[in-house]
């Protein structure tokens, strides 16, 4: 099989490792092949691709959409990030739990995050080119988020000196969010 799929301790999260064909010229890989994903039991449908470029210490997140939740297949093309998904599915046995891992252009690993999760990452390398596929379209009026440094979530971000957007710096804490939105 051209991909290896690893189920993670939080239901719905997967690490996907594509087969990489390398030689003296470089490498080739299929970052997504619907047939291979379906054969592995991953039947999600993607409708939008996004890409961002960031410098070391930039932290983006923790983001989600409220009424139009998106599943995301995330990967790093160049560089390295610490990537985090937080379960915000009411009624889930892992509600409020997170899973974090390093994604890198060198490892070619991918992380699938289903709808119902908040997502964010911090750049560990000098720069990072980050790409992701989404299962629903972006709706700007539907944005939601959780403060990256929420003490209740206690995510062990590997960098503490980070740059966040003004909008992300004002996101609510998880406890407040539960009362008003979830």
pLDDT tens track, the chain, 182 positions? 589 999 999 999 999 999 999 999 999 999 999 999 999 999 999 999 999 999 999 999 999 999 999 999 999 999 999 999 999 999 999 999 999 999 999 999 999 999 999 999 999 999 999 999 999 999 999 999 999 999 999 999 999 899 999 999 999 999 887 766 65
The class of domain 45-180 in CATH terms is mainly beta
Residue 80 CB contacts under 8 Å (≥ 6 apart), including other chains: 102, 103, 104, 105, 106, 123, 124, 125, 128
pTM of the model: 0.94
The catalytic position among 82, 98, 112, 132 is: 132
- To the query of whether residue 138 is one of the catalytic residues in this protein, the response is no
The catalytic position among 27, 63, 108, 173 is: 63
For residue 18, the cross-strand partners are 3
- To the query of whether residue 132 is one of the catalytic residues in this protein, the response is yes
- By DSSP bridging, strand 80-87 and strand 14-18 are unpaired
């Amino acid at each position: 099989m051209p991909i290896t799929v690893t189920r993670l301790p939080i239901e719905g999260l997967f690490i996907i490792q594509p087969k990489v064909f390398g030689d003296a010229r470089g490498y080739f890989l299929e970052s997504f092949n619907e047939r291979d994903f379906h054969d592995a039991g991953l039947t999600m449908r993607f409708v939008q691709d996004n890409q961002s470029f960031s410098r070391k210490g930039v932290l983006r997140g923790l983001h989600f959409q409220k009424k139009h939740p998106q599943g995301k297949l995330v990967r790093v093309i160049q560089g390295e990030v610490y990537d985090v998904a937080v379960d915000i599915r009411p009624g889930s046995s892992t509600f409020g739990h997170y899973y974090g891992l390093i994604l890198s252009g060198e490892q070619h690993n991918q992380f699938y995050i289903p709808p119902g999760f908040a997502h964010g990452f911090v750049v560990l390398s000098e720069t990072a080119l980050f790409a992701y596929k989404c299962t629903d379209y972006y709706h700007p009026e539907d944005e939601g988020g959780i403060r990256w440094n929420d003490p209740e979530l206690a995510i062990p971000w590997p960098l503490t000196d980070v740059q966040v957007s003004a909008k992300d710096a004002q996101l609510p804490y998880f406890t407040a969010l539960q009362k008003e939105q979830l």
